[in-house]
């Protein structure tokens, strides 16, 4: 928020008469003042226009100060060392500020708010006002007041008085200023202990400061929501009157913040609640118009587990009772206590303005009854009122919403890592939470002290809960019916109602204590939305998966549409997915009154080592790792979970592709083929280095593997180990999908009975296990370069039927672990499969664009022939082959490299021989492309017209042509290489199985610029079609001669030429990936852009399409790069001299290079803060300066040995990063689309893949309707910002 402060002064009271009060009066602070915060508090008030002038607002403020003199005074100490207010009328700070921009949205508090008021620390004034006016006419009033002078209630009445004074109304009621009314009783009676509440021991004061970022979130609660909340809370109220809105909302927030913080269940959490004594003190009463502080604090508290387990009414009752205890007696006790020197010995106020983190506690200020919205200067109440940015974790401020209909806003500062959990949860109104114990069919209950040691397979499973969701359409059975069935199922699956403990030997065990599983009933006031895209919203539908002691949890959430979502979480060390799914089926059968068939086998002691043990396999690095090797990798990048749907038809094609490379009698399974496909697509999307090893950790169910002895399918527990296929990334991508499927198949096959038995022997050996821990890591958030996969295809999850049918939808919960794949059957039941794929946000688009592609990954292009193609002359008289043509000055400063372009044609297309004959004819008119570079006797670079020929390559592909829309390295297969070649032009014809043809053309830039190359291509097309090549090119490169009297009107050093030593030092490269993004600009967008740019233009003609597009791109790329605002950014723009110099000297048909460069430049802050027309003007004027005089000056300069001594051309084909600058080539007027071989223009024309950061190429879109495509190479880290912003016409 760019704010300019225009004036700052002290504002003194304006008295109605000349009889001013004395300015040496000192008022000692009251007991309540001294325990308030020793700091300013800032509030903001925003007003829509029109607003009265500052002078009117100022005069009203001065009048208000005459009645509220404390704000114009200063804090001092009297002779007794007491803090006092000196009423010296020195004045309050008054600041006038302005912004050149409209007022932005003031909805979510941010550090920008601090610009709208004066600092709150390090100042002597007791009140400050800042008036900030915006370009839109809006006004923001920022007020800061010292808390020891007055509480919020008093401050709000002062502000109302100020508004009334501005409007010429009396300030009624006038404040009572007597702070001496709070006297101790005689004798004093301290009935309550105020230590630890209002006061603490001096030695106990400490400040905690966060390492984590604190974010202030504004949570909005509608009146409808609050009504429902109050109704919920009233269920548990023992009182006649319902709980207040404040009590209910605070109870709700206390529980939601506690859950978001992830507090330990035994942690005590308290709230410090400000209680206004004006409504509490009665003996004697304190008038409501008393000015000062009359606030003490209630401190309700609870164990975190009780707060969350019991309903919201329980928390509301704790708050209600704690506030009720802060009554008249409590306030009188405080006055007596604070007046006792003996009691106060060694104590200081507990209010600590330097405390930045309150967790596990909260503090709350309720502004619900303060008349802040009555601060009216004559044009109405404020459009918005809110506290300033105050990032104190856990300091809640509750204020009335602006709409005035009973809505409430809560400002909630939390540590950033906890915020998303709070935001996902704070609108959820759960009904109840309790522990559910097994229901046995007889009174003969099993013992509750049985310990079952975990098996070796359990101990290497993940030490965390796994969450799954099941959605059902209505009608659904009642919760109590579902609950009863669950209790019956628990009687057969007692482990879920137990707890994890350690036995005397330190082994982890399941205690079958029947303590119960967590059972929660929840409700939403909305219909169930689409649950197709995994998101953090899923976390509302089940209980937390960490920091809990229960081994299983169920949440039933009912929606207004009648739908039911069942959220189940189960601890993975208790059972694998196969066992868990059979428990869920049993639950459904119990609800329907059916027997639970195939009762589980609970004996975990069946996995005994052989005698003697045989360690046939090394389990280090697979199931176990060295303790010191355990590490967690995390990333600051966002992880997104994408649901990829694969139809049965797609899977059939995929299996057919993979079967080509299958050496086995049986084809690869659907799972093997799909996983192979995903492994390759994710590897490509991640852009791994080719030498990088990538692995997959695949869960293998031992029930189907172990045979000696066998393990029954009904065994309940974990029987899973892992296969680990691996590959170099380059091999995985270069070889077909069948290769990957074979790697997976072979790795899984190796995890056989011998492997499982070897694992049991290994894990039972103390010697082998010394210093090892399980390799499974529940805290690992990033698996790249590897993957982990859980296959749920054979689990009967869809059989969880409570009587109204199978679930409408079954999904895993939101689990953003990068690379953790879950493969599940689709709901439609026809063989489709859904895969949940968590990837970094920066990689997800690439994956989404590619994962349905079944083509071989690189365009498998086969070279059929390669040869040199010589010109075909129409007469037997051949031109001499020893002519040497020196390069012109313009050729010399061009890039010393080939440039490649691609042309794609739909079938039918003429045969290669016809195209070849046309090309040979065209070479007769453009001999340079069949020549070679040589040096003459003077050392000048020349073109030798020796007709050695251009390179002509014929290629084929067994695959159809894919969609050539997104530039990628695949493009490099479609044309010959650009470096290490002697030919000056090359052509590659690639024919695809679908009949399509791609022509790849490369030409050396020193031979011809784009304009000339375009005309050569048109001539080639005409020759192929049997037409004359008209107009014929002009080949005379000697026409650029210096003037007889050379005139160096312009400086060409640093533009076309640089010092030799600079050319080697200014190449910048980067390890960051560069992506070429193609952006499409429709003609309608271009028209709007041109219209916007023309506003304020000093010229009669509008800016050109090119100027406007480049201006737009310049600004968007500069913003995406995040450049420093003081940095200078330039654009190198190619300017064609044919249209600048006299056409009689340089005709349009001149063949060669005729390009110099314009260099508009700007400071970043100017470029971004000024409109697009400013950038267009810079471009227009820079290009205009490259006129005929500039071209002639360049010819003179380049022909002067003295001037060019020690200089080399600035064009640097080795430079890969141009930031902070850009370079642009405009191909908008080149006739590339006229390369017609007889079956029509190309379907698509584009440059090849050229990842030079900041090198832009503009081409006309193939649509032919005035649309433009821009190819924009940027660092991957900047690309999302560019894409998100590009179409915004700010």
Distance, CA of 982 to CA of 1172 (rounded, Å): 45
pLDDT band per the 50, 70, 90 thresholds, residue 235 = confident
What would the pLDDT profile of 246-299 be if each residue is shown by its tens digit?
999 999 999 999 989 989 889 999 999 999 999 899 888 999 999 999 999 999
Does the reported pTM lie above 0.85? no
In the prediction, which pLDDT does 1095 show?
A: 85
Among 308, 194, 324, residue whose Cα is nearest residue 256:
308
Q: What is the largest CA-CA distance in the chain?
A: 132
Q: Is 97 exposed, middle or buried (0-12, 13-18, 19+ CB in 10 A)?
A: buried
Percent of all residues in the chain with a pLDDT value above 70, rounded to a whole number = 96
Other C-beta atoms closer than 10 Å to the C-beta of 391 total 18
- Any residues with CB less than 8 A from the CB of 1212 and at least 6 apart, and which? 895, 1063, 1066, 1067
Q: Tell me which of 530 and 365 has the higher pLDDT.
A: 365
Question: Hey, which residues does 1059 pair with through a beta bridge?
Answer: 1207
The sheet with strand 508-511 has its strands ordered as: 451-453, 508-511, 499-502
Instruction: Name the CA radius of gyration of the chain, rounded.
Output: 39
pLDDT band per the 50, 70, 90 thresholds, residue 1064 = very low
Q: 154 with 290: CB under 8 angstroms?
A: yes
**At what angle are helices 841-850 and 1276-1285 packed, to 10 degrees?**
80
DSSP string across 1002-1013: EEETTT--HHHH
**Alpha helices of 141-270 — where are they, by DSSP H?**
152-166, 223-234, 245-261
pLDDT band per the 50, 70, 90 thresholds, residue 1181 = very high
For 1128-1277, strand residue ranges (E) read: 1128-1136, 1155-1158, 1161-1163, 1207-1209, 1222-1226, 1244-1247, 1255-1260, 1268-1275
Average pLDDT over residues 713-732: 94
Q: 752 with 653: CB under 8 angstroms?
A: no
Kind plus residue range of the DSSP H or E element containing 568: strand 564-571
What would the pLDDT profile of 1279-1290 be if each residue is shown by its tens digit?
989 988 888 886
Average pLDDT over residues 979-998: 92
What would the pLDDT profile of 641-668 be if each residue is shown by its tens digit?
999 999 888 899 898 888 877 788 888 9
In the prediction, which pLDDT does 1066 show?
A: 43
pLDDT band per the 50, 70, 90 thresholds, residue 858 = very low
- pLDDT greater than 60 at residue 1132: yes
In the prediction, which pLDDT does 955 show?
A: 95
- Arithmetic mean of pLDDT over the chain: 90
Among 369, 358, 367, 274, residue whose Cα is nearest residue 322:
274
Six-digit token pair at 70?
């404390």
In the prediction, which pLDDT does 857 show?
A: 43
Six-digit token pair at 1135?
């300017």
Q: 547 with 266: CB under 8 angstroms?
A: no
Among 534, 533, 531, 522, residue whose Cα is nearest residue 560:
522
Distance, CA of 697 to CA of 621 (rounded, Å): 12
Other C-beta atoms closer than 10 Å to the C-beta of 800 total 23
Q: 439 with 488: CB under 8 angstroms?
A: yes
- pLDDT greater than 60 at residue 856: no
In the prediction, which pLDDT does 635 show?
A: 58
pLDDT band per the 50, 70, 90 thresholds, residue 820 = very high
Burial string for 764-798 (b: 16+ CB within 10 Å, else e) reads eeeebeeebbbbbbeebbbbbbebbbbbbeebebb
Let me know if 147 is a catalytic residue. yes
Average pLDDT over residues 1205-1233: 87
Q: 1184 with 1111: CB under 8 angstroms?
A: no
What is the DSSP secondary structure assignment for residue 1264, as one 8-state letter? -
Distance, CA of 983 to CA of 898 (rounded, Å): 10
DSSP string across 994-1038: TS-EEEEEEEETTT--HHHHHHHHHHHHHHHTT----SPPB--GG
What 3-state DSSP class applies to 569?
strand
- pLDDT greater than 80 at residue 859: no
38, 365, 376, 458: the active-site residue: 376
40, 117, 147, 582: the active-site residue: 147
What would the pLDDT profile of 316-347 be if each residue is shown by its tens digit?
999 999 999 999 999 999 999 998 888 888 89
In the prediction, which pLDDT does 960 show?
A: 67
Report helix, strand and coil shares of the chain as percent, to nearest 5.
Answer: 30, 25, 45
- pLDDT greater than 90 at residue 785: yes
What would the pLDDT profile of 1065-1116 be if each residue is shown by its tens digit?
444 555 678 999 999 898 888 999 998 898 888 898 999 999 999 999 999 9
What would the pLDDT profile of 65-90 be if each residue is shown by its tens digit?
999 999 999 999 999 889 999 999 99
Report how far apart, in Å, the C-alpha atoms of 5 and of each of 12, 96, 98, 115, 132 are: 20, 6, 6, 10, 8
Let me know if 542 is a catalytic residue. no
What would the pLDDT profile of 179-210 be if each residue is shown by its tens digit?
999 999 988 888 898 988 899 987 665 556 66
What would the pLDDT profile of 998-1040 be if each residue is shown by its tens digit?
999 999 999 999 999 999 999 999 999 999 988 889 999 999 9
């Amino acid at each position: 928020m760019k704010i300019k402060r225009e004036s700052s002064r002290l504002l003194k009271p304006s008295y109605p008469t000349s009889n001013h009060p004395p300015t040496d009066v000192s008022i000692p602070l009251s007991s309540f003042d001294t325990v308030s915060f020793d700091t300013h508090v800032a509030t903001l008030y925003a007003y829509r226009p029109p607003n009265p002038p500052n002078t009117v607002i100022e005069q009203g403020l001065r009048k208000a100060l005459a009645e509220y003199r404390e704000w114009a005074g200063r804090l001092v100490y009297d002779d007794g060392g007491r803090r006092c207010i000196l009423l010296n009328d020195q004045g309050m700070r008054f600041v006038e500020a302005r912004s050149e921009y409209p007022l932005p949205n003031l909805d979510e508090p941010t550090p920008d708010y601090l610009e709208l008021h004066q600092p709150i620390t390090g100042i002597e004034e007791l009140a400050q006002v800042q008036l900030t006016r915006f370009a839109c006419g809006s006004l923001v009033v920022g007020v800061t007041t010292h808390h020891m002078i007055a509480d919020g209630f008093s401050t709000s009445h002062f502000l109302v008085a100020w508004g009334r004074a501005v409007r010429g109304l009396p300030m009624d009621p006038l404040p009572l200023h007597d702070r001496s009314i709070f006297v101790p009783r005689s004798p004093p009676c301290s009935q309550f202990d105020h230590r630890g509440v209002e006061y603490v021991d001096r030695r106990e004061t400490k400040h905690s400061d966060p390492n984590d970022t604190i974010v202030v979130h504004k949570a909005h609660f509608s009146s409808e929501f609050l009504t429902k909340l109050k109704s919920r809370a009233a269920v548990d109220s023992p009182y006649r009157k319902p709980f207040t809105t404040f009590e209910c909302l605070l109870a709700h927030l206390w529980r939601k913040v506690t859950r978001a913080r992830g507090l330990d269940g035994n942690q005590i959490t308290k709230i410090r609640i400000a209680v206004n004594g004006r409504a509490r003190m009665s003996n004697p009463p304190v008038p409501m118009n008393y000015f000062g502080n009359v606030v003490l604090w209630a401190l309700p508290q609870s164990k975190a587990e009780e707060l969350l387990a019991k309903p919201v009414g329980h928390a509301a009752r704790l708050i209600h009772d704690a506030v009720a205890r802060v009554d008249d007696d409590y306030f009188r006790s405080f006055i007596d206590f604070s007046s006792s020197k003996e009691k106060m010995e060694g104590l200081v106020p507990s209010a600590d303005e330097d405390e930045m983190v309150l967790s596990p506690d909260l503090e709350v200020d309720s502004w619900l009854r303060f008349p802040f919205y009555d601060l009216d200067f004559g044009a109405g109440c404020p459009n918005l009122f809110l506290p300033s940015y105050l990032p104190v974790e856990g300091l809640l401020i509750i204020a009335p919403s602006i709409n005035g209909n009973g809505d409430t806003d809560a400002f909630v500062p939390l540590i950033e890592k906890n915020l998303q959990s709070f935001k996902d949860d704070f609108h959820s109104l759960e009904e109840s939470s309790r522990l559910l114990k097994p229901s046995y069919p007889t009174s003969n209950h099993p013992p509750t002290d049985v310990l079952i040691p975990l098996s070796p397979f359990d101990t290497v499973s993940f030490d965390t809960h796994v969450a799954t969701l099941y959605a059902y359409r209505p009608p659904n059975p009642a919760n109590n019916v579902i609950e009863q069935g669950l209790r019956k199922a628990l009687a057969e699956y007692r482990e879920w109602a137990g707890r994890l403990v350690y036995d005397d030997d330190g082994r982890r065990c399941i205690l079958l204590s029947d303590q119960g599983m967590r059972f929660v009933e929840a409700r939403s006031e909305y219909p169930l939305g689409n649950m197709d895209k995994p998101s953090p919203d899923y976390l509302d539908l089940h209980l937390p998966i960490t920091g809990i002691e229960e081994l299983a949890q169920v949440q039933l959430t009912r929606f207004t549409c009648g739908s039911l979502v069942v959220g189940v979480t189960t601890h993975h060390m208790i059972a694998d997915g196969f066992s868990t799914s059979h428990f869920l089926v049993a639950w459904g059968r119990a609800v329907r009154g059916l027997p639970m068939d195939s009762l589980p086998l609970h004996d975990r002691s069946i996995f005994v080592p052989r005698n003697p043990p045989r360690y046939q396999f090394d389990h280090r690095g697979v199931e176990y790792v060295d303790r010191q090797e355990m590490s967690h990798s995390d990333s600051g990048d966002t992880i997104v979970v994408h649901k990829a749907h694969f139809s049965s038809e797609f899977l059939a094609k995929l299996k057919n592709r993979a079967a080509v490379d299958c050496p086995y009698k049986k084809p690869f399974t659907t799972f093997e083929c799909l996983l192979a496909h995903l492994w390759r697509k994710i590897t490509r999307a991640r852009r791994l280095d080719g030498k990088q090893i990538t692995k997959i950790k695949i869960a293998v169910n031992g029930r189907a593997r172990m045979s000696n002895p066998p393990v029954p399918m009904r065994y309940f527990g974990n029987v899973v180990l892992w296969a680990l296929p691996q590959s170099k990334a380059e091999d995985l991508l270069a070889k077909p999908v069948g290769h990957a499927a074979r790697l997976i198949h072979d790795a899984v096959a190796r995890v056989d009975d011998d492997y499982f038995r070897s694992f049991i022997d290994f894990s039972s050996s103390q010697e082998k296990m010394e210093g090892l821990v399980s390799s499974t890591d529940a805290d690992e958030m990033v698996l790249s370069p590897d993957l982990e996969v859980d296959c749920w295809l054979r689990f009967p999850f869809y059989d969880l039927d409570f009587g109204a049918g199978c679930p409408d939808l079954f999904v895993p919960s939101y689990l953003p672990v990068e690379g953790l794949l879950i493969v599940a059957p689709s709901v439609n039941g026809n063989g489709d499969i859904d895969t949940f794929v968590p990837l970094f946000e920066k990689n997800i688009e690439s994956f989404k664009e590619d994962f349905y592609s079944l083509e071989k990954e690189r365009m498998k292009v086969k070279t059929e022939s390669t040869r040199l193609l010589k010109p075909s002359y129409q007469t037997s008289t051949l031109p001499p082959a020893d002519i040497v043509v020196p390069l012109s000055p313009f050729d010399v400063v061009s890039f010393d490299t080939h440039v490649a372009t691609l042309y794609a044609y739909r079938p039918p297309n003429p045969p290669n021989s016809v195209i070849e004959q046309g090309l040979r004819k065209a070479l007769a008119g453009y001999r340079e492309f069949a020549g070679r570079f040589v040096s003459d006797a003077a050392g000048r670079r020349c073109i030798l017209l020796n007709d050695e020929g251009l390179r002509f390559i014929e290629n084929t592909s067994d695959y159809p042509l894919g969609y050539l829309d997104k530039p990628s390295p695949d493009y490099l297969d479609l044309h010959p290489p650009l470096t290490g070649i002697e030919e000056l032009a090359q052509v590659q014809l690639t024919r695809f199985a679908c009949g399509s043809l791609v022509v790849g053309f490369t030409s050396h830039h020193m031979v011809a610029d784009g304009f000339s190359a375009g005309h050569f291509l048109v001539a080639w097309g005409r020759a192929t079609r049997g037409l004359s090549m008209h107009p014929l090119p002009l080949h005379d490169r000697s026409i650029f001669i210096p003037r007889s009297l050379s005139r160096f009107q312009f400086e060409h050093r640093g533009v076309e030429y640089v010092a030799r030593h600079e050319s080697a030092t200014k190449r910048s490269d980067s390890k960051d990936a560069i992506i070429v993004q193609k952006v499409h600009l429709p003609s309608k967008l271009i028209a709007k852009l041109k219209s916007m740019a023309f506003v304020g233009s000093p010229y009669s003609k509008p800016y050109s399409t090119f100027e406007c597009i480049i201006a737009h791109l310049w600004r968007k790329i500069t913003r995406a790069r995040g450049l420093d605002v003081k940095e200078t950014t330039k654009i190198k723009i190619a300017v064609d001299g044919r249209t600048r110099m006299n056409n009689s000297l340089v005709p349009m048909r001149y063949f060669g290079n005729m390009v110099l460069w314009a260099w508009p430049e700007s400071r970043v802050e100017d470029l971004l803060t000024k409109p697009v027309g400013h950038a267009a003007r810079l471009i227009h004027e820079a290009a205009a300066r490259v006129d005929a005089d500039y071209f002639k000056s360049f010819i003179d300069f380049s022909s002067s040995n003295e001037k060019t001594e020690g200089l080399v051309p600035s064009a640097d084909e080795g430079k890969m990063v141009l930031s902070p600058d850009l370079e642009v080539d405009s191909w908008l007027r080149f006739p590339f689309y006229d390369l017609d071989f007889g079956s029509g223009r190309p379907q698509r024309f584009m440059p090849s893949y050229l990842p030079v950061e900041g090198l832009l190429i503009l081409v006309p879109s193939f649509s032919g309707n005035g649309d433009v495509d821009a190819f924009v190479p940027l660092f991957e880290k900047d690309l999302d910002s560019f894409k998100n912003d590009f179409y915004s016409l700010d």
